[in-house]
Structure 1
Amino acid sequence: MPKMIQLLTAILLLVLSFVANAQDLTASVDRNELAINETFTLTLRYSGSQSGGQPDFNLLEQDFEVLSRQQSNQYRVFNGRAESFVEWTVVLAPLKEGKLFVPSLHLHGQVSDAIPITVSKAGESPSGNSRQAFLEVELDKDKLFVQEQLLVKVRLYTTVGLHDIATDPLQIPGAHVEKVDEQRYERRIQGVGHAVYELTYAVFPESSGELQIPALNYVAVTGRRDPFSLFNRNAQRIRLRSEAKTVKVEPKPDSYSGSHWLPAASLGLVQSWSKDPEEFKVGEPITRIITLRAEGLRAAQLPPLPTLNIEGLKVYPDQAQKEDQAGANGITGTRIETTAIVATKPGQYQLPPITITWWDTKNGQQRATQLPAFRFNVSGAPILDSSTPGTSTPVTPERPSATEVKPGFWQKLAIAAIASHFLWVIYFFYSKRNKNMEAPTRVIRKTKNHGDEEKLIKLINTGSPQEIQVALRQWVDRRWPDTGTTSLESAANRLNIGELSDAIQILNDATYKTPAKPLNRQQLQLLAGRLLHLRDEDRPASNTLPGLFNG
């Protein structure tokens, strides 16, 4: 037994002395050449007698972004040789192109070697079929005019599950940028299925010259996310970087003669009235609603319409309503101007035409959209103005003088009794009337709403798209008065009613599209029937976006 103990002690001392002499700090990478939108792995291993501590990894942040870092302690025996070491695995992404170096790192007096790294430009397509994820940027045009809409689509392709996706929003100096659409779908590339996450931005350059679309960085985690695991060792954090783009922005054409620069894909003017203008009478207000809608322009870019100044008509303009509707084709701006008109004398009136000059970005030419002149008759007696100059002031005749007669005591008593009796009769009459007011009021309100429904159904069968829009807006305002808006699109978004949105789309296609789409009255009747029978408790809740590519 003593000999066995001596032998084990000798072996242990030999192992310890060998490990002490094997102290070292080494560094290696999985590849030395990569693109700016790719990552690589740095492995740093320390084998020595001292424990604790770690290298200063902040030195890496000068040229690289540290995406993840893991540490492991290992002890193994290989061919009768004992070995213990600490290993760090660091995933790095380059911050710039060119010749870079992974710097030397220090730990317990040991120094690792610097490693050269060559970083090239981002590739347009994946290198072979080995890449699990990559980015693609697409512009809908390579040149445009100042203030014209540019659509920038950023697509993230992946063949593996991605989660915890993070990206900075697109920001371009000298341009207005809005995210207008977000889609998820699948696409096959060289026979391999890819999940695609697509973001669409609408960009409006504010000055001419070259517009720089900067590179975008995406950071995500690959692999299946296991909620019951604290480590998820199979998951890997990756960083993707898109390629920067440049587009030429030209100034407004010298041949353009419009008073306002309006580069749009389409532009339309629509007029509607609160009631039939054929029934216009003196002193009765009637509301004129003009909608200016432009595809590819924001509402803030749309100009105000000319004001009315016609003798015999008093106008009371309301504050203009401005709304932007975002979609896959960018932004459609809408400006709604509402004006109350009151005629002060009868006769025939003509509202002048309204002409909007704009630049057609699809055909590259100047165009004009006109709302034609509108004539109507006003009936009734003129309103006399007592302050009109030239009128004579009537002379008040002199009253004959009379001697004031004061009532006696019994006369005062009789007057007081009659007055109190009269007040009691009035109080009794009104108290009885107020008790019976509540039920009839409900009936009247219900009858009024019923009349709006009948008017809407009648116009769907025989009316024009503009008349149906006005009737639908009036019905929505009475049915849901808390929406607080004059725009059907805004009301549909707030109410989150699919039937209402579908009906609005059908009316917009028949009103604003060029050429106009035929009005589908049968579909409108079906949607209106569902709307009229919809209860508040049946309205769906607001939609929420699902998670991103959870594996």
Structure 2
Amino acid sequence: MRIFHLLTARHGATLLKATLLWLFCFSSAWAATTASVDRNPVAIDETFLLTISSDEAGFFDSSPDFSALNHQFNILSTSQQTSSVNGDTTRSWSLTLSPKTQGKVSIPAIEVADQKTQPIVMNILSVKQAPRGGSSNSNNQLYVEASADQNTVYKGAEFIYTVRVYASIQLARGSELNQPDFADATVKELDNNQFQKRINGVAYTILERRYAVFPQSTGELEIAPAVLKARVPYGRSSVFGQSQVRTVTRRSEMTTVNVIDPPESFQGANWLPASQLTLQQQWSKDPKQLMVGDSITRTIQQQASGLIAIQLAPIQEPKIDGLKFYADKPKLEDSATATGSVATRSDSYAIIATRAGSFTLPAIDISWWNTSSNRLEHATLPATTVVVAANPDQAITTIAPTAPNNNLQAPAPTSIRGDTPPPAQQTGTTLWQISTGLFALLWLATLAYCFKLRRPPSSMATTPPSNKADANEKDAYAELKSACDNNDARQAESTLLSWGKTFYPGASISSVSDILLASQSEPLKHAWQQLQNNIYRDDSTTWQGDSLLSAIDNCRNATSKNEEELASLYPR
């Protein structure tokens, strides 16, 4: 019996130890904390999913510290999930990461409560090392390419930068392609295209975005990689037909373009590197069939391929005695074609002939550099002759009575009865009296007609101007005066046309040139040219509105004085 108790005690102790060891091992296995990635290796322009799971969810509340990952990776998103099966709770975290460097990169151990995950060594490939097209690897299903159509360009010349996104999978809503950073360059987005293409037997949807780039400084122009943040489906669809979506990042390689100075052989006033430049002109009517007082509009259009409109210089109007020039607002337009940007600039000015004669407008020559043939070229317009004839409607003809001709002899009438004809002196006197009376009647008729022309119609003499029209003019003048007082050039430009339409209601005012024609005011013309120079010719000085306002006031005062004089001449 004693031996039995001894054996029982010995075996009981052994059994207890075995039971405790089994419970410890089971507990260790049950409380496992793990880290895993969805794929390895990955490319530098890709993202991958890191999942950390722990069965210790019931023993802690706070989330793990993931800050150690920031040394080698970008944390793009983090999500958390908790599940419970038969009373066993599991907590997991999913992190979308993108690598910062290439080569062998380690994901450090992450501490969860009192346990740590095992480190994971990631193999990060370069963009060139990563395979492209025709395989099931997700890196081939979605990638980005960027390129420039030229390796070396002149400063200010155009090159085309193209970004393409290749996708053999469906992208979810919310995917974004960043705007490239071109540093010191002017950029115009040309177009966005989408088309299909098969690569190694795999169908791809290609999203293409093109930019016209005009570098503004010489040296190496480095264009940062294009970055796509795409939302792509993964895993199985839910019972509602919706797939899980994750964010992935794709990058192109950096693009470098060498920018050089203009060639020394170019001696033009304005550096214009273009693949084509043309110069054309249009006239509102035949410039060789004008009369004094006529107005004609000349429009000169520059069009250049491979430039933007702000690079085209204005065409200066000439100064010619006998012709007055009134410049209108230039029109600038940029358009996109399959080959790049096309710039158009139109300069228009009205010409008023002030005297008769033949006038020669000088030839126009624009030097530009042909980037296709790499040589200097010229766009020209030949000299143009403007012929102005006297205006008969403006000539003042005075009809004066003609002195009598005492020597005027009338043929002697044939006497039927053989009477002696009257003396010659008596016949001349009779004709003189008839001529004098006739000319006197004509002179009186002329005076009466001129008096009728000078006298305004009764409606003009008796009907005062419309109160509504007068109020509109005052409102327009107040806006114009405010713009001039504030030295606001842009506002003055727009309000001047509004004022002119109300101040000259009888004239057809559609542009400032029409206002200048109606006013015939040299101060107003000079003030308008100063305003245009400040706005459109890169005048860095602050525009002063006092000269324009003074010219407007002179026009208003002159009109008021004329109305008072008419009122005194033709009282009601």
Match of 1:106 among 100, 104, 111: 111
How many angstroms apart in 2 are the aligned matches of 1:354 and 1:249? 31
Following the alignment from structure 1 to structure 2, what is the Cα–Cα distance between the partners of residues 223 and 21?
33
Q: 1:274 to 1:154 in 2, by over 3 A?
A: same
Separation in structure 1 between the aligned mates of residue 350 and residue 239 of structure 2, nearest angstrom: 67
**Within 5 Å, which residues of 2 pair with 1:358-369?**
358-369=368-379
2:65 is the alignment partner of 1:60? no
Matched length: 381
String of CA shifts for 1:310-352, please: whole Å, max 9, x gaps: 2211111123222222344332122111111111111112211
Distance 2:167 2:459 in 1: 82
The amino acid that maps onto 1:25 is T
1:242 aligns with 2:248: no
| Aligned position for 1:92 | 97
> How far did 1:19 drift?
4.2
Q: In the aligned structure 2, how far is the partner of 1:45 from the partner of 1:230?
A: 27
* Higher alpha-carbon deviation: 271-280 or 332-341: 271-280
State the Cα distance separating 1:381 from its structure 2 match. 4.4
TM superposition shift of 1:166: 1.1
Name which of 44, 67, 77 aligns with 1:36. Answer: 44
Distance 1:366 1:39, change over 3 A: same
1:116 aligned to 2:121?
Answer: yes
Larger C-alpha radius of gyration, 1 or 2?
2
Equivalent AA in structure 2 for residue 345 of structure 1: R
Measure, in 1, the Cα distance between the counterparts of 2:336 and 2:272: 18
Secondary structure at the residue paired with 2:59?
coil
Counterpart CA distance in 1 for 2:366 and 2:178 is 39
2:152 corresponding residue in structure 1: 143
Secondary structure of 2:347's aligned partner: strand
2:122 & 2:51 partners in 1: Cα distance?
14
CA displacement at 1:255 relative to structure 2: 1.4
Q: Helix, strand or coil for the counterpart of 2:288?
A: helix
Give % identity: 32
- Distance change (3 Å), C-alpha of 1:19 and 1:225: closer
Task: Flag the 1:427–1:276 CA change in 2: closer, same or farther, 3 A.
Answer: closer
Query: Relative to structure 2, which stretch is displaced further, 298-307 or 337-346?
Result: 298-307
Q: Residue 166 of structure 1 aligns to which amino acid in structure 2?
A: E
Q: How many angstroms apart in 1 are the aligned matches of 2:207 and 2:70?
A: 29
TM-score normalised to structure 1 length: 0.62
Structure 1 unpaired stretches of 5+: 1-10, 385-424, 435-482, 486-551
Q: One-letter code of the match for 1:46?
A: S
Equivalent residue for 1:276, pick from 282, 286, 298:
286
- Letter of the 1:309 counterpart: K
After TM superposition, the structure 1 stretch with the greater mean CA deviation from structure 2, 286-295 or 168-177, is 168-177
CA contact under 8 A between 1:283 and 1:383: conserved in structure 2? no
Q: CA deviation at 1:55?
A: 1.5
> How do residues 420-431 of structure 1 correspond to structure 2 at under 5 angstroms?
none
Structure-2 residue corresponding to 1:50 = 59
Q: Using the alignment, how far apart are the partners of 1:109 and 1:233 within structure 2?
A: 35
- Displacement of 1:28 after TM fit? 2.1
Structure 2 counterpart of 1:234, one-letter code: Q
CA distance in 2, matches of 1:294, 1:224: 49
How many Å apart are 1:224 and its aligned residue? 9.7
TM score, norm. by length of structure 2: 0.60
Q: Tell me whether 1:295 sits opposite 2:305 in the alignment.
A: yes
Q: Contact 1:148 / 1:204 at 8 angstroms: preserved in 2?
A: yes
Cα distance 1:427–1:325, how it changes in 2: closer, same or farther (>3 A)?
Answer: closer
1:216 to 2:226 alignment: yes
Shift of 1:358: 0.6
Q: Supply the distance in 2 between the matched residues of 1:184 and 1:319 (Cα, whole angstroms).
A: 39
Q: CA deviation at 1:15?
A: 8.4
Name the SS of the counterpart of 1:311 in structure 2.
Answer: coil
Q: Partner of 1:278: helix, strand, or coil?
A: coil
Look up the match of 2:360.
350
**1:169 aligned onto 2:174:** no
Q: Is the 1:344–1:382 contact (alpha carbons within 8 Å) kept by the matching residues of 2?
A: no
Task: State the 1:76 CA deviation.
Answer: 5.4
In the alignment, residue 307 of structure 2 is paired with which amino acid?
Answer: L
Q: Is the 8 A contact 2:322 2:354 kept in 1?
A: yes
Asked whether 1:197 is paired with 2:207, we answer yes
Which secondary structure state, in structure 2, belongs to the residue aligned with residue 277 of structure 1?
coil
SS at match of 1:60: helix
Letter in 2 for 1:220: A
Q: Give, in angstroms, the shift of residue 233 of structure 1.
A: 4.1
C-alpha offsets along residues 198-243 of structure 1, whole Å, 9 cap, x if unaligned?
1111111111111111101111112399999999443332211111
Aligned to 1:338: 348
Where do 5+ consecutive residues of structure 2 fail to align?
1-18, 395-457, 467-509, 513-572
Q: Secondary structure at the match of 2:317?
A: coil
Task: Report the alpha carbon displacement of residue 38 of structure 1 after superposing the two structures with TM.
Answer: 1.6
The answer to whether the Cα contact below 8 Å between 1:326 and 1:332 also exists between their aligned partners in 2 is yes
| Equivalences for residues 399-418 of structure 1 within 5 A | none
Which region of structure 1 is more displaced relative to structure 2, 54-63 or 341-350?
Answer: 54-63
| SS of equivalent residue, structure 2 residue 258 | strand
How far 1:426 moved relative to its partner?
A: 5.1
Could you tell me how far apart the structure 2 residues matched to 1:304 and 1:87 are? 67
SS in 2 for 1:162: coil
AA paired with 2:35? A
How far did residue 177 of structure 1 move?
1.9
AA at the equivalent of 1:372: P
| Matching residue's letter, 2:37 | V
- Encode CA deviations 1:372-406: one digit per residue, 9 max, x unaligned: 1112311124999xxxxxxxxxxxxxxxxxxxxxx
Structure-2 separation of matches of 1:58 and 1:292: 59
Letter in 2 for 1:43: T
